[in-house]
Amino acid sequence: MKEKKISPLFRMIKGLVRIFYYKIEIEGNENLPDEPVVIVGNHTQLHGPICCELYLSDKHYTWCASQMMHLKEVPDYAYADFWSRKPKWSRPFYKLLSYLIAPLSVCVFNNARTIAVYRNIKIISTFKNTIKVLKDGGNVVIFPEHDKKYNNIIYDFQENFIDVAKLYYKNTGKELQFVPMYIAPNLRKMYIGKPVRYCYDTPIEEERKRICAYLMEAITEMACSLPIHKVVPYRNIPKKYYPLNTVSEVKKNEKTGC
């Protein structure tokens, strides 16, 4: 990726966040292969992007919704994605807030180590930039959850990000690895799990399902192996409804589909 010219305002914002955001430790770095990989994690609302920007190496780029990088698109996207499920009496406030944060959002996400993710024909540029980072020896971080619950730990993964591996193989002849990551803000830690490798001679439809299933289960297992803590969910819900990371909660969710 072409080196970005970083805004002084962004440097100041990042410095302040580093001071006031809690220190995060990374466990499992030994599981990162000595080659470019895609790291796939639980979004944990804003915690995921913040943790990755502050604590992962400088040779990584994070996928970012393109709407958060364009001034006119921020308000509608931010309100729908972050605050649309807030109590009705508070929604006008959050509607206003979505406009107020737009300039800040544009500054932050255009200066951070990000790759814009588009939902139209421009998705080609998303994949092209992703391959460029990987070929240059960097890692790419993706938070692929969407609004369908998988269990009490994570939401279901959108699968098409796996297609990066197919394009990477076409460009390099190498099979890309995907590494699961669990972020536990309440434990002040990020956990790196064991990778899974893309298989080029298996149909991409099968690889999407196989790799996503492995990653979701690996993240769930990592979470459940840890001391009991509140899981920060993908959806922005009141903290009193945050689930616990217990195996019993996972099984209850599997049975009820909640």
Strands 155-157 and 145-149: antiparallel
H or E stretch covering 25: strand 25-27
Domain boundaries, the chain: 27-70+114-256
How far, in Å, CA of 145 to CA of 159, rounded?
Answer: 9
- pTM score, two decimals? 0.93
Whole-angstrom Cα distance, residue 73 to residue 76?
6
Length of the chain: 258
Phi-psi region of 131 (alpha: psi -120 to 50; beta: other; left: phi over 0): alpha
Residues 241, 250: Cα–Cα separation, whole Å: 15
Candidates 56, 32, 20, 19; CA nearest to 183 is: 56
- Are 112 and 10 in contact by the 8 Å Cβ rule? The answer is yes
- Angle between the N-to-C axes of helices 204-224 and 247-256, in degrees from 0 to 180, rounded to the nearest 10: 140
Instruction: Give me the tens of pLDDT residue by residue for the chain, a chain 258 residues long.
Output: 666 788 999 999 999 999 999 999 999 999 999 999 999 999 999 999 999 999 998 889 999 999 999 999 999 999 998 888 888 999 999 999 999 999 999 999 999 999 999 988 999 999 999 999 999 999 999 999 998 999 999 999 999 999 999 999 999 999 999 999 999 999 999 999 999 999 999 999 999 999 999 999 999 999 999 999 999 999 988 899 999 998 776 666 654 544
| Phi and psi angles of residue 184, each rounded to the nearest 5 degrees, phi first | -120, 85
The share of the chain scoring above pLDDT 70, in percent, equals 95
Q: CB-side exposure of 159: number of CA atoms within 13 Å? A: 11
